[in-house]
Chain A
Amino acid sequence: MSAAREERPQALSRLDRMERLSEAFYRYGLYIVLLALVVLFYALNSNFLSANNAVNLLLQTSSTGIAAAGLVFVMLTGGIDISISAVMFITAVISTVLTDMGLGLIGAIAVSIACGAVIGAVNGFFIAKLKMTPIIVTLAVMYSVRGLAIGFIGVKTLFFTNAVGAYLVKTRILGYIPLIVVILAVVMALCQILLSRTLLGKQMYAIGNNRSGAQKMGIAVEKRIFSAYVLCGALAGLAGLVSGAQVGQVSPAFAVGQEFIIISAAVLGGVSLFGGKGKAFPGAFLGVLIIMCIENGLVMARTNMYAYTIVRGCVIFVAVMLDSFHNKGETR
């Protein structure tokens, strides 16, 4: 009898330890994974840890990172936006055409953000006001926006190699830090401040955690969800401008499939598909960085070309699996 009594607390403490371990892994796992990747790829190619490659990695992280930061707002409210890639495409098209006509960098940034925000508002209207399913609405918007952009350019390729594109890509702050990386840093900082220091951000977490509870507390749920999609669209617009300038070419296949990389990066970074959990920085940023690190490292390690797709698929699977495990038993 007494032995059975002793066994129960022991079993409980074992369970407790497991839970703590999994919590610790969830909290610090990203850093551990990133560190492991850095060590692995450094062992395979010492150039991986060079300063040039660090800048290179940040540059490759920038457009996806900016879009992922925007997506965090939507995901926190329990939604999803798969029209991001189409928004990136249309803003890259508009920016290229307008800058070719003489629009400056500030104007191009403003137009891209505004254009993305308008598309985000369309998503937000249908999802927040008309209570339509996010995946259906954003899927429809994705096709419509891509079709609109293809119709606009007439299924041709545009070259974003004018002065604005060159300035965006080549400018180095203090002679070393690329302007695009500075833009990424500013976006990440602003998004995280918005999420953790403002009422808007806190209300988004509340909505994602318990929508009906948030409504009872007097939070304007519809307005907050609408704002989340507008912010997401605006940042996707900015990401489109950055990506277009980096690639130097905008074709109808521009950013196709990018939405899945962005979503998986956000999930990998701890932003829950179920809503209410996650951060733009370091969460989503680290998620994007890990994905880019893997792609960069595979090239550095001169991996077989057939390995890339397999590894990418595995990363997405692991990210979603971890999210499901972490949210096991939670229903919202």
Chain B
Amino acid sequence: MRKLLSWFLVCAVCVCLFAGAAAGAEKIAIGVAMDNLDDPFWMGVKKGIDAAVKELGDKVEINIQVCLGDANVQHKQIEDMVTAGADAIACIYVDSETIRQSVELCNEKNIPFVYMDRTLESDDEITVSWGFATDNYALTVAGWEYMADYARKNGIKWKVLELVGSLTDQNVLFRTEGFEKVMADNPGIIERIQSVPTEWNLEKALAGCTNALQASPDINCIFMHSDYLLAPTIQALEAAGRWVEIGKPGHVAVMPFSGAALSIQAMKEKKVEMCFGMDTFGAGYEGVIAAYNFAAGIDDPKYKAFVNDPGFVITQENFAQTAPRAYGWE
């Protein structure tokens, strides 16, 4: 009886495997490796991914993994997805060095690798199929040039506190470089008083912002590397009695990065002059469509050149036209 049952189980497993393989054969399996989902920014990318998956319908089987900011976990997740039979990998990587192992693995298995949001270049060791990312340098330069013009028109000199994200995040470095370029071009208008590292930690952002405002009460501008840091910044400004509308005494110009709902709301309340806007939806959407096309062997000229999206600058003047493009627009 036991023998019969064993044979029956073995046969059942084999039938299931063959049936699964036959059913899955028509679908393209795409593995999506995300850095995080703890921030409306990532949710914006996720909306784009979901829209692409909806559009592709039955043709695609999606496996989304979130590593919560741990680069090693992300590598393991990609390994697992490759082992599970992914036909393509679309990824928002955590660390530009660790991800190289994952790309090498994909290259070995002939699996296309597409990046979203953070850029990664092909070289002698790795080949990246395609990518969609924001040109953080260009966007920062555009935003800061607006602020320099704004200062010239209103007779202001910006004394800036820079709230830095993770020191190992390439996007962060591009944002700092863009800021430094415009600062160098406008020496009498923009002065960096202090750079405070936050490591994307909210408590550190709150403490750093509070301490900097104490140390240098003449700070009149806060440039943050993501609007993830906006809530603690508002808390610090409120405590200092400086979260007030534009033009009122003590006002501090806050420059949030990416276009979350909180930033858009602050702009509506006329407490924030401008916001850097990023096409998060586009990164998620195009990343999945490109991964599908590469895996399915579809030769679409759209995905020949890598996209370096310049983003958009939302200001009080162009708010009605540009703010609806932000992922935080409701």
Contacts and interface: CB of A to CB of B under 8 A. Distances in A.
Contact of A251 (B66, B202, B239, B262): B202
Nearest to B215: A300
Nearest to B261: A159
Interface string B115-135: 000000000000000000000
Contacts of B194: 299, 302
A299 B215 CA distance: 7
A254 B202 contact: yes
Nearest to A301: B215
Nearest to A146: B68
B214 A302 contact: no
B193 interface: yes
Interface residues of A, number: 43
A112 interface: no
Nearest to B68: A252
A292 B211 CA distance: 10
A256 B196 CA distance: 19
Contacts of B238: 170
Interface in A281-301: 292, 295-296, 299-301
Contacts of A161: 231
Interface in B298-326: none
Contacts of A252: 36-38, 68
Nearest to A251: B38
Contact of B39 (A50, A59, A157): A157
A248 B234 CA distance: 9
Contacts of A295: 207-208, 211
Contacts of B214: 47, 50, 52-53, 56, 296, 300
Contact of B201 (A53, A246, A253, A299): A253
**Most chain B beta-carbon contacts within 10 A, residue among A60, A169, A253:** A253
Nearest to B260: A157
Contacts of B202: 247, 249, 251, 253-254
Interface string B165-188: 001000000000000000000000
9 shortest A-B CB distances, which residue pairs?
Answer: A249-B231, A299-B211, A155-B37, A300-B215, A252-B38, A251-B38, A247-B202, A305-B195, A248-B231
12 contacts: A169-B235, A247-B235, A248-B231, A249-B202, A251-B38, A251-B39, A252-B36, A252-B37, A256-B201, A300-B211, A302-B193, A305-B195
Interface of B: 36-40, 43, 66, 68-69, 164, 167, 193-197, 200-203, 205-208, 210-212, 214-217, 228, 231-232, 234-235, 238-239, 262
Given A299-B212, A299-B215, A305-B195, 6 more contacts: A45-B215, A155-B38, A247-B203, A247-B235, A251-B202, A253-B201
Interface of A: 45, 47-48, 50, 52-53, 56, 59-60, 63, 150, 155-157, 159, 161, 169-170, 243, 246-249, 251-258, 292, 295-296, 299-302, 304-306, 308-309
